[in-house]
Chains A and B, each alone.
Chain A
Amino acid sequence: MLSKYLIIGLVRTLTGVRARWREGAEPSLAQRIYFANHTSNLDAVVIWASLPTELRRKTRPVAAHDYWTKGIVRPYLAKHVFNVVLIERKNVTVKNNPLTPMLAALDAGSSLIIFPEGGRMAGGGLGEFKSGIHHLATKRPGVELVPVWIDNVNRVLPKGEFLPVPMLGSVTIGAPMTLLAEETKDGFLTRARTALAELGGIES
């Protein structure tokens, strides 16, 4: 409990981040999948820390098994602080399909934070979306999908660095969307990606 508030305090001190809700977007306890651009290992933590307490309690970041099980600190944080949903990134087989733990978490009532590009992008752009977000939308159609744009957090902890520096970042949350009836996979992925790019004010 204490370590939770320490982490939230630390993240806010370093980034000064507060969630900014765009018009049409409101904090809601409805079950949601927050999907965000990905530039830094801190991204999931920053989104999680910027959510209002009530929402944060039921929201779990989805992250790579290989990264969060290394060492002593990361597994502790993953389990006891962020309650991370760990998914397999490298040895994907039928047995450890990354979708299974996400669907299980959704069925248990949690909201999720995912990064549909599937990895961190260098530079400020937005990569192509992997199909995972479409699978989730198809299999759990009642869950709202909410775009989240993260800005400037990559400067706090760039790829390959260990020590963070303070930089003001921002988390902008957009209006929720859902899979439309008879929408194709590519159509949906493009629509979701465009919504996120618009939120970040970049060309999609």
Chain B
Amino acid sequence: MNVDTGLTAMKADPHFLWLGAGVGGVLVVASIIGAVLAATVTTEKGKGTVANLNARTRAWWIMVLVFGGALMGGRMTVVVLFGLLSWLGLREFLTLTPTRRGDHRALFWAFFVITPAQYYFVGVEWYGMFSIFVPVWAFLFLPVRAAMAGDCDHFLERASKTQWGLMACVYCLSYAPALLSLPIAGYEGHNAKLLVFLVAITQMSDVLQYVWGKSIGRHKVAPKVSPGKTWEGLIGGVLTASALGASLWWATPFKPWQAGLIALAITIAGFFGGLVMSAIKRDRGVKDYGVLIEGHGGVMDRMDSLVFAAPVFFHIVRFWWT
């Protein structure tokens, strides 16, 4: 596909202005609410919640600026940004996962060869390769490297953990920048809006689930895995995020009802992603994957829903729209 991406394309398309204004508006409102709450809440517990809320909002500003900046830089900048996020995510994931001396060389390959290669294939728009590289080639190669090191203890567990980390943090996440390469008839040069749609819906779904859960949440969905998640939060968040998706149809190649249904699929996949990644954290006895993003935790704490939603969204669009 040889179409302008980045700032040139964005300037020519007023939709970006509206999307940008929408995101900026939400953040301004969130910052104002945060400031008002900080000035009015008096209980100790309330103060803690508000401080965390404001830290999250500040981090949101930074994340939105970084993501927006990458979009302006064009497709390659977006690929590089997601490549870095995958790398940092894999670092968090494998830190939590006990590996042994015999895995060292395999891990070196995972970080310095397989991750860059996956994003290289996304970068050169080689669908036939990037869509099978980790599930086929890395899957076959990495255990061989670990076996050659000669340590057979817990071999299957160790091989599975490395593969799982690569699948979640690298392979699944790389579907997000790959959206920019989908050839959709009549939508050429507009693909960046698909990525904005995906990221906005997954992230807003997380935020809305949190807001609904904090306000009316009573019944826990999976108290052992994720004590913060409630049915009220889940249903309220999923429905409002899907409605938001439907209302953004004008920026996508979808009709409003299609945009709503796809947003529903994205939010449910995102919820599952959060649940599964939480189960891994509980198994390892930690609350967060890291400390990189103030108020949110690590990169994987923020990306968990996107990891599951990106491939689902990509294949829905690829199957029915290309």
Interface of A toward B, CB cutoff 8 Å: 16, 152, 155, 158, 161, 163-168
Contact = CB atoms under 8 A, between A and B. Distances in A.
Contacts of B301: none
Interface residues of B, number: 15
A32 B87 CA distance: 37
Given A165-B107, A165-B108, A168-B290, A158 B92 contact: no
B108 A168 contact: no
Q: Give the top 8 A-B pairs by smallest Cβ distance, nearest first.
A: A168-B95, A166-B91, A165-B107, A167-B95, A165-B108, A163-B108, A158-B101, A161-B104
A10 to B, nearest CB: 13
A152 B107 CA distance: 15
A168 B91 contact: yes
B290 A158 contact: no
Given A158-B104, A167-B94, 15 more contacts: A16-B290, A152-B95, A155-B95, A158-B101, A161-B104, A165-B104, A165-B107, A165-B111, A166-B87, A166-B111, A167-B91, A168-B91, A168-B92, A168-B95, A168-B290
B316 interface: no
Contacts of B107: 165
B143 to A, nearest CB: 17
Interface of A: prevailing SS: loop
A155 B108 contact: no
A16 B91 CA distance: 9
Interface string B78-107: 000000000100111011000101001101
Nearest to A14: B91
Nearest to A161: B104
B99 A155 contact: yes
A168 B95 CA distance: 6
A177 B111 CA distance: 41
A16 B111 contact: no
A41 to B, nearest CB: 14
B131 to A, nearest CB: 26
Contacts of B290: 16, 168
A155 B90 CA distance: 14
A161 to B, nearest CB: 5
B292 interface: yes
Contacts of B104: 158, 161, 165
A161 B87 CA distance: 21
Contacts of A161: 104
B108 A16 contact: no
A162 B99 CA distance: 17
Contacts of A155: 95, 99
Nearest to B106: A165
B291 to A, nearest CB: 8
Interface in B108-158: 108, 111
B233 to A, nearest CB: 30
6 contacts: A163-B108, A165-B107, A166-B90, A167-B95, A168-B95, A168-B290
A164 B105 CA distance: 9
A168 B91 CA distance: 7
Nearest to B109: A165
Nearest to B292: A16
A155 B101 CA distance: 8
Contacts of A167: 91, 94-95
A94 B165 CA distance: 53
B297 to A, nearest CB: 12
Contacts of A166: 87, 90-91, 111
Nearest to A157: B104
Contacts of B99: 155
A155 B100 CA distance: 8
A125 B91 CA distance: 24
B12 to A, nearest CB: 37
B289 to A, nearest CB: 9
A179 B232 CA distance: 60
Interface in B176-197: none
Contacts of B111: 165-166
Q: Which of A158, A165, A167 has the largest count of B CB atoms less than 10 A from its CB?
A: A165
A161 B101 CA distance: 9
Contacts of B90: 166
Q: Which of B94, B104, B107, B108 has the largest count of A CB atoms less than 10 A from its CB?
A: B104
Nearest to B289: A168
A167 B99 CA distance: 11
Nearest to B95: A168
Contacts of B101: 158
A168 B101 CA distance: 16
Interface string B54-95: 000000000000000000000000000000000100111011
B286 to A, nearest CB: 11
A16 B290 CA distance: 10
Contacts of A164: 108
